[in-house]
């Protein structure tokens, strides 16, 4: 039976054309020349003063109706009712509006077009650092005691909020900048103390070490903030640099222990501090290299860190079973595991974008699994004997199970990165049998059976 579908197709096309001409699609466009401002709210209008004739101004948007035709929508209150005003604008009028909006923003509210997503995080960081370190470090360094010391502590703690707030009033504060500033400001304390050891060896005094730590903290915090902003880093890039910086610091300290730099002696102290600083620098550079090899998200970095820590912990049980005479065997094994663990972690996040706390779930799964293993080991342990091997083995197995189970749980949701191409090739056993039997299998020999199949996802 044949059906002539030409009349039906003509009717459907005519209906579609009628629907298209009966409804005009409006597309929202920017209100400024930079193309970043999509709406003006009441708070911004109070600064800009663009629409004084509309009382109780709420919001304004700009829409493109057709080529060269625009509509400015203004929402405001009038006599207790909400009103929407639609003002048709030509392309030239829109250009003039955008020039005016941009000029007033630059004059009256320059920060409105900046990315400020990391400002709260930055201010929390500086405030807590001032409360926990700068506040008491300054009185100690300048030897201010009594009432003056207490006053200096409180004033420094308060300045930890007000000074960076004022400094970032007219500049962008991205999430990445806040992340790298947090890393630099906190790890800078350790780096500064290490620098004091490098310069002065065992003659390090408490006051001088605190001063070095404070100065390095401020310098590295500002440097991290500036570099992240200047390079337009993503939060993931800043996070992986921080994670690898910590790994490098740990690797440097482990290297110092294996090399005997923690033994007595002024020169040994200098070497240990230099090893820690060198490792930290190499780690930061390695983090930047990894981010260029593989675009990292923040949660990707958490998975990387969890894998590295697990790699550093697992060999301890094996070494404890061997019971070496030299305790530095533990350190050497942990060093190797740390490097291998980070390599495996980088492989596990390849072509994936972990997000929405998935990386933290993997980390928590690892910690929880290790704790569960410790609990089981404690139940099995008997008093009066050394059970270090039991505790290390049980906690290692638990941490591994926790890490891997959580990774397998969240990995399917960490979608393949946009732009990556995934090839899947399937060999069908039925096809092999059919080939051996002459090309078909089963009752219906006229039906071909595939031998190979492949899928391309992109």
User: Sign of torsion, CA 233 188 126 132?
Assistant: positive
Considering only CA atoms, which of 236, 333, 253, 334 is closest in space to residue 294?
236
Is there a domain that residue 4 lies in?
Answer: no
pLDDT greater than 60 at residue 402: yes
Is there a domain that residue 185 lies in?
Answer: yes
Beta-carbon contacts of 300 under 8 Å, excluding residues fewer than 6 positions away, are 236, 240, 294, 349, 352, 353, 354, 359
238 phi/psi in degrees, rounded to 5: -60, -40
Confidence of residue 25 (pLDDT cuts 50, 70, 90): confident
Largest CA distance in the chain: 103
What whole-number distance in Å separates Cα of residue 282 and Cα of residue 248? 6
Is there a domain that residue 447 lies in?
Answer: yes
Is there a domain that residue 6 lies in?
Answer: no
For the chain, how far is it from start to end, CA to CA, in angstroms? 41
Is there a domain that residue 11 lies in?
Answer: no
The CA angle 239-310-343, to the nearest 5 degrees, is 60
- Asked if 270 and 146 sit in the same domain, the reply is yes
The answer to whether the CB of 127 falls within 8 A of the CB of 197 is: no
| Secondary structure element (H or E) that encloses residue 94, with its range | helix 91-108
Confidence of residue 245 (pLDDT cuts 50, 70, 90): very high
- Asked if 48 and 124 sit in the same domain, the reply is no
Q: Residue 11 has what pLDDT?
A: 46
Lowest-pLDDT choice from 183-187, 346-350, 382-386: 382-386
The two structure tokens encoding residue 334: 């942990």
89 phi/psi in degrees, rounded to 5: -130, 145
Lowest-pLDDT choice from 74-78, 105-109, 133-137, 432-436: 432-436
Give the count of domains, the chain: 4
pLDDT greater than 90 at residue 267: no
The two structure tokens encoding residue 209: 């070490």
pLDDT greater than 90 at residue 207: no
Is there a domain that residue 165 lies in?
Answer: yes
The answer to whether the CB of 253 falls within 8 A of the CB of 279 is: yes
Question: What's the rounded mean pLDDT across residues 237-248?
Answer: 97
362 phi/psi in degrees, rounded to 5: -65, -45
Considering only CA atoms, which of 199, 158, 332 is closest in space to residue 254?
332
What whole-number distance in Å separates Cα of residue 56 and Cα of residue 76? 5
pTM for this structure? 0.74
The two structure tokens encoding residue 61: 């948007």
Instruction: Give the burial string for 291-329 (b: 16+ CB within 10 Å, else e).
Output: beebbbbbbbbbbbbbbbbbbbbbbbbebbeeeeeeeeb
The separation between CA 203 and the C-alpha centre of its own chain, rounded to angstroms, equals 40
Domain residues for 354? Answer: 295-419
Q: Residue 432 has what pLDDT?
A: 43
The separation between CA 333 and the C-alpha centre of its own chain, rounded to angstroms, equals 30
Confidence of residue 4 (pLDDT cuts 50, 70, 90): low
- Asked if 229 and 362 sit in the same domain, the reply is no
Considering only CA atoms, which of 82, 23, 93 is closest in space to residue 57?
82
What whole-number distance in Å separates Cα of residue 106 and Cα of residue 46? 15
- Asked if 307 and 366 sit in the same domain, the reply is yes
The answer to whether the CB of 435 falls within 8 A of the CB of 454 is: no
- Asked if 141 and 251 sit in the same domain, the reply is yes
pLDDT greater than 60 at residue 420: no
Is there a domain that residue 78 lies in?
Answer: yes
Instruction: Rank 33-37, 43-47, 180-184, 417-421 by mean pLDDT and report only the highest.
Output: 180-184
Is there a domain that residue 15 lies in?
Answer: no
- Asked if 414 and 427 sit in the same domain, the reply is no
The two structure tokens encoding residue 371: 């704790």
- Asked if 351 and 414 sit in the same domain, the reply is yes
pLDDT greater than 90 at residue 426: no
Kind of pairing, strands 81-90 and 69-78?
A: antiparallel
């Amino acid at each position: 039976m044949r059906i002539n579908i030409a009349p039906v197709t003509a009717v459907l096309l005519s209906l579609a054309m009628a629907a298209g001409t009966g409804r005009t699609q409006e597309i929202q466009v920017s209100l400024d020349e930079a193309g970043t401002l999509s709406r003006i709210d009441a708070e911004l209008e109070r600064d800009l003063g663009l629409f004084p004739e509309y009382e109780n101004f709420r919001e304004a948007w700009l829409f493109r109706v057709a080529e060269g035709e625009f509509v400015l929508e203004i929402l405001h209150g009038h006599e207790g009712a909400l009103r929407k005003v639609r003002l048709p604008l030509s392309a030239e009028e829109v250009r003039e509006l955008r020039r005016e909006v941009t000029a007033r923003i630059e004059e009256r509210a320059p920060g409105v077009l900046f990315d400020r997503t990391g400002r709260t995080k930055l201010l929390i960081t500086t405030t807590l650092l001032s409360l926990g370190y700068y506040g008491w470090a300054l009185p100690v360094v300048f030897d201010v005691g009594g009432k003056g010391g207490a006053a200096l502590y409180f004033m420094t703690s308060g300045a930890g909020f007000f000074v960076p707030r004022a400094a970032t009033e007219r500049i962008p504060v991205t999430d990445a900048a806040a992340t790298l500033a947090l890393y630099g400001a906190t790890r800078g304390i350790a780096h500064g103390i290490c620098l004091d050891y490098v310069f002065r060896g065992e003659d390090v005094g408490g006051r001088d070490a605190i001063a070095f730590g404070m100065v390095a903290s401020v310098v590295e915090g500002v440097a991290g903030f500036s570099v992240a902003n200047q390079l337009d880093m993503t939060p993931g890039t800043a996070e992986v640099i921080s994670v690898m910086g910590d790994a490098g610091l740990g690797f440097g300290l482990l290297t110092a222990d294996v090399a005997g730099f923690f033994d007595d002696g002024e020169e040994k102290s200098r070497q240990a501090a230099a090893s820690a600083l060198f490792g930290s620098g190499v780690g930061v550079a390695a983090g930047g290299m990894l981010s260029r090899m593989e675009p990292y998200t923040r949660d990707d970095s958490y998975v990387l860190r969890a894998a590295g820590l697990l790699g550093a912990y697992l060999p301890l049980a094996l070494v404890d079973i061997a019971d070496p005479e030299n305790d530095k065997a533990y350190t050497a094994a942990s060093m190797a595991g740390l490097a291998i663990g980070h390599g495996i972690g980088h492989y596990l996040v390849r072509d994936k974008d972990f997000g929405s706390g998935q990386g933290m779930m993997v980390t928590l799964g690892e910690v929880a699994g290790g704790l569960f293993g410790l609990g089981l080991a404690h139940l099995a342990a008997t008093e009066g004997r050394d059970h270090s091997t039991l505790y290390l083995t049980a906690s290692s197995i638990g941490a591994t199970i926790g890490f891997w189970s959580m990774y397998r749980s969240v990995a399917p949701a960490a979608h393949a990165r946009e732009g990556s191409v995934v090839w899947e090739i399937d060999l069908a056993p039925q096809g092999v049998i059919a080939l051996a039997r002459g090309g078909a299998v089963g009752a219906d020999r006229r039906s071909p059976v595939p031998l190979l199949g492949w899928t391309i996802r992109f």
